[in-house]
A and B are shown apart, each in its own frame.
Chain A
Amino acid sequence: MKDTPLSNCERDFLLRAIEEKKRLDGRQTYDYRRIKITFGTDYGCCFVNLGKTRVMAQVSCELVAPKENRPNEGIMFFNIELSPMASPAFEQGRQSELSVKLNRQLERCLRNSKCIDTESLCVVSGKTVWQIRVDVHMLNNDGNLMDASSIAAITALCHFRRPDVGVQGEEVTVYSPEERDPIPLSIYHMPISVSFSFFQQGTYLLVDPCEREERVMDGLLMIAMNKHREICSIQSSGGIMLLKEQVMRCSKIASVKVSEITELISKALLNDKAARKAGGRCGFAESMPQERITALKTDETPVEMKDVTESANDIVQKAEAPPPAVWSPVVPVPGVGQVGQQNTWGLEEEDDDEEDDEEGSEEQKETETKMEEDQHEMEDRGAGDVVEISDSEEEEVVILHPEIPDKAKITGSSSHQQRAATSQKRQKK
């Protein structure tokens, strides 16, 4: 789709305004627009907002074979994509002139300045090295894509962490982030590009042109510098003639701007580090501002907590009571009883003598000798269970399946049982 053409009246007005040192959004000649840097959830994902220009950079890495003429250096690969989202003038697929120009400038700015130690990316010399790939996507074009891309690229590289590797001879093991903490790249310095636009054959100069100013400019000068005042790259396009003093002045302005921007980047990286450490939610979802109408947000529905205990009690009461336990009838083999829970020996009676004798007798009546029961259970259980029901005179009989379900107790007892029980009692006593 074609971009909206620029009308004559807009062009005239802009040039006249620049002659009077007025910019469309009220900035001064050397002012940058507001820069905002946010990070995504992964390491190496960075968004940069330069006014309304929006750019995203993503760094990724993989192990590859090195180049033949550089066997012990890693590989850096840069790619700028002009997404049609950014402007109707950008077409999908076709490599336009602007895209080629931006790619070349970014490569020169970051690769040729040797800002990243490529030798530290070597794993096995001549065989395996890390290839670091930086993808920059334009999300919105409001002028000065170059500066925004350079800020995004270098910030993403500083933010990125590559997986740790272990080398044993020729074998290379890559550790996942859970096994070993990923390592940051070793970066020597941060080159940042600053763009100057010239109007009226070099008479007037503006820093950080917006989209409309870019359309009426005569030429562009891009200076890439780091905070140590080392120039990494200079590029002049548009065919304008510049004087030596002009270029010197621009480089002085650039050094001031670069130190400000570098400080901003360091602060953003520190903030992100602190946020990740604190475990706070960081990343893409949180960096999007919540627009009122379009955010998928529902109000918290309040949950009634007042009557929870009462309703819980209600539920418990209304539920059916568990069926009363009924023990199955067990006929005790003479001479054998069980000590413990259900005492057939009558030993517990001594303790309960203070209590009703009736109780004691009841106990006897209702006693279950768990013999048969246990025998049944032994058949049911697997071989692994060991239950010793013996006529040993040890006081403790340990049954290894404590959660025997409450079996029904017989309330009535046969006289046979009673007799047997009393006979046992007499025997023991």
Chain B
Amino acid sequence: MFSSLKQRVEDVLLAGDEFSFETDDTISLTEPVKPEKAVCGPGLRRSGDRLVVCKSGVLRHKPPNVFWIDSQQRRYVPAKGETVIGIVTAKSGDMFKVDVGGSEQASLSYLAFEGATKRNRPNVVVGDLVFAQFIIANKDMEPELACMDSSGRASGMGVFGAGGLMFTVSLGLVRRLLSPHSEVRSDLETLFPCELVIGMNGRLWVRSSSIQQTLIIANLLQSCETMTAQQRKELFRRVQQGAL
């Protein structure tokens, strides 16, 4: 199965495609053999003894044994531990209702901020942007957010947003931006200095020194989705030279 997976790397797969153990998968009897383990990333799921593709997209591989599907999905499904950008829509009693782009609005308790107590309420109004992470996110319950990590520190989360622009992109691009040595991010660094907040629900927030530059970066990121690496580098170079 490992070999059949490796064969299909960089192929477009559709939801429903399967990988199963083939009858001619041989194991050598003479050499010491380690059991092959394939780690399934997003888009692949194990069902019984088969690997099933559950999202359409391109199969990617990271050696030694990680496989996942890169897709252009824009619809976000809340998952525990992911950090997202939410918009506060309502204030009801002890908690805020936050829109994260999923099927339901998430709730954010006002005590889930760093240094918040019953007397010391956080300064949040309806319409603010918050950067928070999910503490409860499954299909049976209403999702819950918190603006602090397990030790009580903010670590970058909380209310933000003045002066910048928020826009939506596909989830695939967001994951590309968040990967450790992201090419897109390094290309972006060659342009103007800017502040960037990346929410895993497909929302990006940008702020730069002027409105024009902010708009340029927002448009560039939105167009990165449909460009190859070559075209992107070319475009960034032209912007840098001030042609645009």
The answer, among A4, A8, A13, A293, for a CB contact under 8 Å with B128, is A8
Which residues of B are found within 8 Å of A13, using beta-carbon distances? 163-165, 211, 214
Give the Cβ gap from A28 to chain B, nearest Cβ, in Å.
14
Q: In chain B between 191 and 236, which residues have their CB closer than 8 angstroms to a CB of chain A?
A: 205, 211-212, 214-215, 218-219
Q: In chain A between 13 and 50, which residues have their CB closer than 8 angstroms to a CB of chain B?
A: 13, 16-17, 20, 22, 24-26
B99 at the interface (CB under 8 A from A): yes
Number of interface residues, chain B, beta carbon within 8 A = 23
Given contacts A13-B211, A22-B211, A22-B212, contact A7 B219 (CB under 8 A): no
Contact A9 B163, beta carbon cutoff 8 Å: yes
Contact B101 A12, beta carbon cutoff 8 Å: no
Interface of A is mostly: loop
Contact B211 A20, beta carbon cutoff 8 Å: yes
Contact A5 B127, beta carbon cutoff 8 Å: yes
A404 at the interface (CB under 8 A from B): no
B66 at the interface (CB under 8 A from A): no
The docked-state distance in angstroms from the alpha carbon of A185 to that of B122 is 65
Interface of B is mostly: mixed
Give 1 or 0 for each of B145-174: 1 = CB within 8 Å of chain A CB. 000000000000000011111100000000
Contact A22 B127, beta carbon cutoff 8 Å: no
- Of chain A, the residue at the smallest CB distance from B14 is A293
Given contacts A16-B211, A22-B215, contact A10 B166 (CB under 8 A): yes
Contact A4 B101, beta carbon cutoff 8 Å: yes
Which residues of B are found within 8 Å of A278, using beta-carbon distances? none
A315 at the interface (CB under 8 A from B): no
The answer, among A7, A26, A293, for a CB contact under 8 Å with B127, is A7
B109 at the interface (CB under 8 A from A): no
A316 at the interface (CB under 8 A from B): no
Which residues of B are found within 8 Å of A26, using beta-carbon distances? 215, 219
B178 at the interface (CB under 8 A from A): no
A296 at the interface (CB under 8 A from B): no
The docked-state distance in angstroms from the alpha carbon of A26 to that of B219 is 9
- Of chain B, the residue at the smallest CB distance from A212 is B167
Contact B211 A7, beta carbon cutoff 8 Å: no
Which residues of A are found within 8 Å of B99, using beta-carbon distances? 4-5
Contact B211 A17, beta carbon cutoff 8 Å: yes
Contact A9 B215, beta carbon cutoff 8 Å: no
Which residues of A are found within 8 Å of B205, using beta-carbon distances? 9
Give the Cβ gap from A188 to chain B, nearest Cβ, in Å.
43
The docked-state distance in angstroms from the alpha carbon of A396 to that of B101 is 96
Give the Cβ gap from B217 to chain A, nearest Cβ, in Å.
13
Contact B128 A7, beta carbon cutoff 8 Å: yes
A333 at the interface (CB under 8 A from B): no
- Of chain B, the residue at the smallest CB distance from A20 is B211
Which residues of B are found within 8 Å of A16, using beta-carbon distances? 211
B129 at the interface (CB under 8 A from A): yes
Give the Cβ gap from B60 to chain A, nearest Cβ, in Å.
16
Interface residue ranges, A against B (CB under 8 Å): 4-13, 16-17, 20, 22, 24-26, 293
Residue pairs across A and B with Cβ atoms less than 8 A apart, 19 shown, are: A4-B87, A4-B99, A5-B89, A5-B127, A7-B166, A8-B127, A9-B128, A9-B161, A9-B163, A9-B165, A9-B166, A9-B205, A13-B163, A13-B164, A22-B211, A22-B215, A24-B215, A25-B219, A26-B219
Q: Would you list the 6 A-B pairs with minimal beta carbon distance, nearest first?
A: A9-B161, A8-B127, A7-B87, A13-B165, A17-B211, A5-B89
